[in-house]
């Protein structure tokens, strides 16, 4: 009797400790759906792979969705909600409008997942897995994705505008926007390596290629050919963020920065005589250290303020609240 009551106290103490140990993401786990949806990973992967086979850029677009989801009140699928006559979502916030893409692919993944395990997997978790599968498909590192997030019933266009960093940001602004979500300067530099894939619109790099001096002049010349100086019809013309291998996930992004060939003002801020130069140099020299820091940082980003327990919901359709 004495033994069983003291072990009861021990278990009680342990559960208290686990519940209040301070980690807001204590409930996320890489095996969260292993019983409830054993086919989850293969289902997501096959849809992501076929989308990327059709268009390699889609891998970049899916990775960016995860970033833009996580930076606005946690990774909660809020970016996926459509605007309606009585609901303002995040899709028309400045960083997303005419820019964020891949929503149809997320819908396709969700339909495929609903077929194998209806009502079980959140849209927020689908975005997290699709981002990982995209990086892997384009030649980058693999990692175990932590899962168990629930979907938001709210979204915030204002928070999307203020929390997602702008390409006009200077180094201090970049550091502080990442520190706002618990990410270090080193995490910020590693995550920026995502710009080793994907495209940007002329409107986001025009000022850099016409007006800045910390840019390679032949690179600027090349980019000017498809991005007219004056605002207007060329605004949505695209250029690769990584001039060397725009569909390969590698460390060429950092090598470009060493040569003043960062496409965005914010990219070149990471190597412009400041405190992050040494980190950029080290990633440019080592694919391995970039890969391992990128993985650590993206897992950390995914831990940002998840909805768990009875908060939020498991959406049926990623575009709408249930
Ligand atoms: C450091 C601050 C960052 C800034 C200022 C920034 C800004 C931008 C901008 C302006 C674009 C081009 C959008 C357009 O022209 O339509 C872009 C594209 C992209 N960003 Fe970032 N970004 C940042 C960090 C990140 C992070 C952390 C990730 C992911 C981990 C990421 C992933 C991407 C990808 C993959 C694309 C290409 C998307 C596509 O081709 O559809 N970015 N970013
Ligand atoms: C370059 O800078 C000048 C002077 O600030 C400004 O008037 C002009 O609009 C800028 N051009 C571009 C393409 O940003």
Spatial CB neighbours of 289, under 8 Å, sequence gap ≥ 6: 282, 283
Please tell me whether 232 is known to bind a ligand.
no
Q: What is the pLDDT along the chain (322 residues), one digit of tens a residue?
A: 344 444 544 433 434 334 443 345 558 999 999 999 999 999 999 999 999 999 999 999 999 999 999 999 999 999 999 999 999 999 999 999 999 999 999 999 999 999 999 999 999 999 999 999 999 999 999 999 999 999 999 999 999 999 999 999 999 999 999 999 999 999 999 999 999 999 999 999 999 999 999 999 999 999 999 999 999 999 999 999 999 999 999 999 999 999 999 999 999 999 999 999 999 999 999 999 999 999 999 999 999 999 999 999 999 999 999 9
Distance 194 CA to ligand 2 centre (A): 28
pLDDT, residue 98, reads 98
Positive or negative, the CA dihedral 85, 91, 93, 99 is negative
Tokens at residue 195, please?
A: 């710009």
Q: Which atom of ligand 2 is nearest to the CA of 210?
A: 13
Tally of CB atoms within 10 A around 158: 11
Distance 207 CA to ligand 2 centre (A): 7
Q: Which atom of ligand 1 is nearest to the CA of 201?
A: 15
Please tell me whether 203 is known to bind a ligand.
no
Q: Please identify every residue annotated as catalytic.
A: 68
Tally of CB atoms within 10 A around 91: 20
Name the packing angle between helices 287-302 and 277-285 (round to 10°): 120
pLDDT, residue 156, reads 98
Nearest to 123 by CA among 153, 88, 101, 96: 153
Task: Tell the residue nearest (CA) to atom 6 of ligand 2.
Answer: 211
Angle at 104 between CA 103 and CA 110, to 5 degrees: 90
What is d(CA 129, CA 63) in angstroms, rounded to the nearest whole number? 10
Which H or E run contains 113? helix 103-116
| Ligand 1 neighbours (beta carbon < 6 A) | 57, 60-61, 63-64, 67, 99, 101, 165-167, 169, 174, 191-192, 194-195, 197-201, 204, 241, 264, 266
Which H or E run contains 240? strand 238-240
Q: Which atom of ligand 2 is nearest to the CA of 206?
A: 13
What is d(CA 60, CA 198) in angstroms, rounded to the nearest whole number? 5
Which residue has 């768990």 as its token pair?
A: 308
| Ligand 2 neighbours (beta carbon < 6 A) | 206-207, 210-211, 229
Distance 53 CA to ligand 2 centre (A): 40
Task: Tell the residue nearest (CA) to atom 3 of ligand 1.
Answer: 165
Whether this model's pTM surpasses 0.85: yes
What is d(CA 263, CA 54) in angstroms, rounded to the nearest whole number? 25
Q: Which ligand is nearest to the CA of 204?
A: 1
Contact predicate 287/251, CB 8 Å:
yes
Distance 241 CA to ligand 1 centre (A): 9
Q: How is 35-81 classified by DSSP, letter by letter? A: TT-TTHHHHHHHHHHHHHHH-THHHHHHHHHHHHHHTTTSSSSGGGP
Distance 316 CA to ligand 1 centre (A): 28
Tally of CB atoms within 10 A around 201: 17
- What are the structural domains of the chain? 40-164 (1.10.520.10), 171-297 (1.10.420.10)
């Amino acid at each position: 009797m004495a033994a069983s009551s003291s072990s009861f106290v021990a278990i009680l103490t342990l559960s208290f400790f686990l519940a209040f140990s301070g980690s807001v993401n204590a409930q996320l786990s890489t095996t969260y759906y292993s019983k409830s949806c054993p086919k989850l990973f293969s289902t997501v992967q096959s849809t992501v792979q076929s989308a990327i086979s059709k268009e390699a850029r889609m891998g970049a677009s899916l990775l960016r969705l995860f970033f833009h989801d996580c930076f606005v009140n946690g990774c909660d699928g809020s970016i996926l909600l459509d605007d309606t006559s009585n609901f303002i979502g995040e899709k028309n916030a400045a960083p997303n409008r005419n820019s964020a893409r891949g929503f149809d692919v997320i819908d396709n993944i969700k339909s495929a997942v609903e077929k194998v395990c209806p009502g079980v997997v959140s849209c927020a978790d689908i975005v997290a897995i699709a981002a990982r599968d995209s990086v892997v498909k384009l030649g980058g590192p693999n990692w175990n994705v932590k899962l168990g997030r629930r979907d938001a019933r709210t979204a915030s266009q204002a928070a999307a505008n203020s929390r997602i960093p702008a390409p006009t940001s200077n180094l201090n602004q970049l550091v502080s926007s990442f520190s706002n979500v618990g990410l270090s300067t080193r995490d910020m530099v590693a995550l920026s390596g995502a710009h080793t894939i994907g495209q940007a619109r002329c409107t986001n790099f025009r000022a850099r290629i016409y007006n800045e001096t910390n840019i390679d002049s032949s690179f600027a010349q090349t980019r000017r050919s498809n991005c007219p100086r004056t605002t207007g019809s060329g605004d949505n013309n695209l250029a690769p963020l990584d001039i060397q291998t725009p569909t390969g996930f590698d460390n060429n992004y950092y090598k470009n920065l060493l040569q003043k060939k960062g496409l965005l003002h914010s990219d070149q801020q990471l190597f412009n005589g400041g405190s992050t130069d040494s980190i950029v140099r080290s990633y440019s020299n080592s694919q391995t250290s970039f890969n391992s820091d990128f993985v650590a940082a993206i897992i950390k980003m995914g831990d940002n303020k998840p909805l768990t327990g009875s908060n939020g919901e498991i959406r049926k359709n990623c575009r709408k609240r249930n």
